[in-house]
Amino acid sequence: MIKSTSNELANEIRMRRSQFSGTFLIVEGRDDHLFMEHFISQSTCTIEVADGKCNVCNVIDILDRDNFDGVLGIIDADFDRIEGFPERSQNLVIPECHDLIMMMVKSPALDRTLTELGSRRKLEAFAGSVLEALIDRALPLGYLRLHSLRERLDLRFRELNHSAWIRRSSFAADTSTLIETVKNHSQCHHLSSSALSNAIEELQSFEYDSYEICNGTDVIEILSIGLRSVLGNKNAGEVRGESLKKSLRLAYSDQYFRSSSLGKDIEKWQNQNPGFQVLKSNMN
């Protein structure tokens, strides 16, 4: 259940402590809940959805001030490693990529998903790495997101139509069309397209880690387009974003999670907080 404020969720956790002595794991949203529930110990850990990164941080801050033990928050990295980490609680952990979706995309779960949903013939005929192709198409949009953040442009990316700038037939991407699509979607017609294009090119020259730049939602939408064309024979209904995220979650094994920096950081937190367990003990 999503709470309306950070204070409400913090208060509920305080009240529930008398009935539950285990770990409260605070996550941003429903997708994070669905991802983590496969890896937690159901008897010693319960997941709470805070509805956003800022709310997770606020709940942790509130409970830290009370010296309330046994609460851990998971938040997306977003651009934090690139922009510089804000001072954070020891009770917050982040994935090694931009977000949890990118963590799954980077793992062998992508290949397992492609095997399940793609066309064997088309995948064999596809030139190069599918992962690299997805990253290549998502990077300009990631740079535009970063530029918007830095310059406070308030560009809108939620519910963006990725098919407007990625040709379904050829899977080719057009950065100029991408810029116009984002401007129109954001109702920011006053912004200079050439200035935005130059900003993307300038950011590319810094050679940031692609997995820090690319947003998992963008990659999922681009993958959906590919699976309807050059990578598979699916229709739009079969490879919607929610379905693809579910497929990746199912393909993402305990072993992948244990070897991730997120999994290791959670184990480290457990060791530093004896008596509070998050992860299943039988993961292999």
Q: φ and ψ at 73, to 5 degrees?
A: -115, 145
Cα angle at 243 between 242 and 249, to 5 degrees?
90
Q: Which of 114, 127, 98, 103 is nearest to 36 (CA)?
A: 103
Q: What is the rounded distance in angstroms from the CA atom of residue 276 to the CA atom of residue 270?
A: 6
- How high is the pLDDT of residue 123? 96
Question: How confident is the chain (284 residues) per 10-residue block, as mean pLDDT?
Answer: 76 95 97 96 96 96 96 97 88 97 97 97 95 97 98 96 93 96 96 98 96 98 97 94 96 95 97 96 69
- How high is the pLDDT of residue 169? 87
DSSP readout, 10-28? HHHHHHHTTT--SEEEEES
Which residues have C-beta within 8 Å of that of residue 72, sequence separation ≥ 6? 23, 24, 25, 26, 91, 92, 93, 266, 269, 276, 278
In this structure, which amino acid lies at residue 164? A
Q: Which two tokens stand for residue 166?
A: 């990625």
- How high is the pLDDT of residue 4? 61
- How high is the pLDDT of residue 2? 46
- How high is the pLDDT of residue 1? 44
Cβ 89 vs Cβ 65: under 8 Å: no
- How high is the pLDDT of residue 256? 95
DSSP H helix total and E strand total for the chain: 15, 4
Which residues have C-beta within 8 Å of that of residue 41, sequence separation ≥ 6? 277, 278, 279, 280, 281
In this structure, which amino acid lies at residue 114? L
Q: What is the rounded distance in angstroms from the CA atom of residue 102 to the CA atom of residue 184?
A: 27
Let me know how long the chain is. 284
